[in-house]
């Protein structure tokens, strides 16, 4: 369970809202989407308690690419993610659909484009009218220099208009993308935000599903395009488009994108932790070496044990035979009556076999 750093004054609220809320929350099925909470510093990790993908979390274990992205767009990222309400375009870029605001909070309209959906578990639930499903395409690209030329307040707006790519990725994809014209680098207000979100939504996926290995997306495009996913970039990811391996481009500072042909396509991403395969191979090789070693060890020691037993058997002195005789019976007579059962008290006398044979002669 996630541990929230906030000390809740009312235990009943923590039990009834944070813990039980996961089973009482009722959102429509369909789109896989992220959620958001406001105020950003009052309800950390509620989304984790409720099993909701969200952008507000006190969590120190994140991909390195997240640490690259957030500072680039002006959001502080140390041990938590808390983008404030000024970055409204960031919500569309990261596919945020739901906004939760406690009903006792006075400010109920912190960002443009959110419409009241209903009230649940003491929260007003708002739906983002500018929601863009996971997996959407672009017409334009921008360079890192283009991004740096804008203030941090406007960079997420700019990335909603054009995808940011590194130089090598630009060279690989400039046949399907156009460099954003200079005049389109400006005018990044609310109205432009609504228009850019609508453009991205018109080129978005119609199905997105996750599982314990990765995710699958289906999208229908009018022509070949670069499809962006706001999933943190990591070397452990591999992708296939319509069953064929696809190159993953690092896009918008810390996320991923792949080329997808025109028509209806299936995109599949799978994740394997870097080093896992090498580690398993190393472990398997170690087990094999140990098995060979144990086999040879027991073979060699087994042969040595047999030789040692043989040597001990040769060097051992002759055994002495013990016979039961009557105290009044002569030893020489006992030699010819080995099976006689005495009727009187007996005693056991050791007899050397060689001497006994000589006496018999």
Q: For 89-134, how does the pLDDT look when each residue is reduced to its tens digit (9 = 90+)?
A: 999 999 999 999 999 898 898 899 999 999 999 999 999 999 999 9
Per the document, the length of the chain is: 361
Q: Bridge partners of 266?
A: 218
Cβ atoms of residues 159 and 257 within 8 Å:
no
pLDDT of residue 302: 67
Q: In whole angstroms, give the CA distance from residue 208 to residue 174.
A: 27
27, 152, 189 from 52: Cα distances, Å:
10, 28, 29
pTM of the model: 0.75
Closest Cα partner for 80 from 63, 58, 64, 98? 58
Please report the DSSP string for 258-320 in residue order: EEE-SEEEEEEEEE--TTHHHHHHHHHHHHHHHHHHHHHHHHHHHHHHHHHHHHHHHHSPPPP
The set of residues, in sequence order, having a beta carbon less than 8 Å from that of 177 and lying 6+ positions away, is: 138, 139, 140, 141, 163, 165, 170, 226
In 3D space, the residue among 78, 75, 79 whose CA is nearest the CA of residue 94 turns out to be 75
Q: Which DSSP category does 183 fall into?
A: G
pLDDT at 332: 52
User: Does residue 206 contact residue 219 with C-beta atoms inside 8 Å?
Assistant: yes
Q: pLDDT truncated to tens, each residue of the chain (361 aa)?
A: 444 444 445 678 788 888 888 899 999 987 899 999 988 655 678 888 899 999 887 777 778 888 899 999 998 887 778 888 899 999 999 999 999 999 989 889 889 999 999 999 999 999 999 999 999 999 999 999 999 999 999 999 999 999 999 999 999 999 999 999 999 988 999 999 999 999 999 999 999 999 999 999 999 999 999 999 999 999 999 999 999 999 999 999 999 999 999 999 999 999 998 766 667 777 888 888 888 877 777 777 766 676 666 666 655 555 555 555 555 555 455 454 444 445 555 555 555 545 544 444 4
Confirm if 320 and 351 have CB atoms less than 8 A apart.
yes
Listed in order, strand segments (DSSP E) in 33-90 are 34-38, 57-58, 80-81
The pLDDT value recorded for residue 48 is 87
99 by Cβ neighbours in 10 Å (0-12 / 13-18 / 19+) ranks as buried
In whole angstroms, give the CA distance from residue 258 to residue 299.
56
Neighbours of 315 (CB within 10 A): 7
Domains of the chain: which residue ranges? 1-61+96-130, 134-274, 275-316, 321-360
Kindly report the number of other CB atoms within 10 A of residue 159's CB atom. Answer: 27
């Amino acid at each position: 369970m996630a541990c929230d750093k906030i000390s809740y004054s009312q235990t009943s609220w923590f039990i009834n809202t944070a813990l039980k809320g996961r089973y009482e929350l009722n959102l429509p099925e369909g789109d896989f989407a992220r959620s958001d909470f406001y105020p950003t510093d009052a309800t950390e990790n509620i989304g984790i308690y409720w099993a909701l993908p969200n952008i507000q979390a006190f969590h120190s274990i994140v991909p390195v690419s997240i640490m690259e992205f957030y500072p680039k767009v002006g959001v502080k990222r140390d041990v938590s993610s808390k983008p404030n309400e000024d970055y409204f375009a960031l919500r569309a870029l990261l596919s945020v659909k739901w906004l939760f605001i406690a009903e006792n909070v006075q400010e109920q309209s912190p960002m443009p484009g959110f419409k009241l959906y209903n009230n649940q578990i003491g929260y007003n639930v708002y739906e983002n009218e500018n929601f863009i499903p996971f997996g959407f395409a672009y017409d334009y690209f921008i360079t890192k220099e283009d991004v740096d030329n804008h203030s941090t307040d406007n960079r997420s707006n700019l990335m909603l208009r054009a995808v940011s790519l590194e130089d090598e990725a630009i060279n690989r994809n400039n046949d399907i993308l156009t460099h954003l014209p200079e005049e389109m680098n400006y005018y990044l207000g609310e109205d432009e935000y609504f228009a850019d979100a609508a453009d991205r939504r018109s080129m978005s996926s119609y199905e997105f599903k996750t599982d314990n290995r990765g995710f699958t997306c289906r999208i229908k495009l009018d022509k070949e395009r670069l499809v962006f996913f706001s999933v943190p970039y990591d070397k452990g990811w591999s992708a296939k488009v319509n069953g064929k391996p696809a190159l993953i481009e690092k896009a918008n500072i810390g996320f991923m994108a792949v080329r997808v042909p025109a028509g209806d396509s299936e995109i599949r991403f799978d994740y394997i932790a870097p080093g896992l395969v090498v580690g398993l191979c190393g472990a398997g090789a170690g087990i094999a070496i140990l098995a060979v070693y144990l086999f040879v060890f027991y073979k060699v020691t087994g042969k040595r044990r047999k030789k040692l037993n043989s040597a001990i058997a040769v060097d051992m002195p002759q055994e002495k035979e013990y016979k039961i005789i009557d105290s009044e019976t002569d030893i020489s007579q006992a030699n010819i009556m080995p099976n006689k059962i005495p009727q009187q008290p007996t005693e056991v006398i050791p007899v050397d076999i060689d001497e006994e044979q000589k006496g018999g002669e």
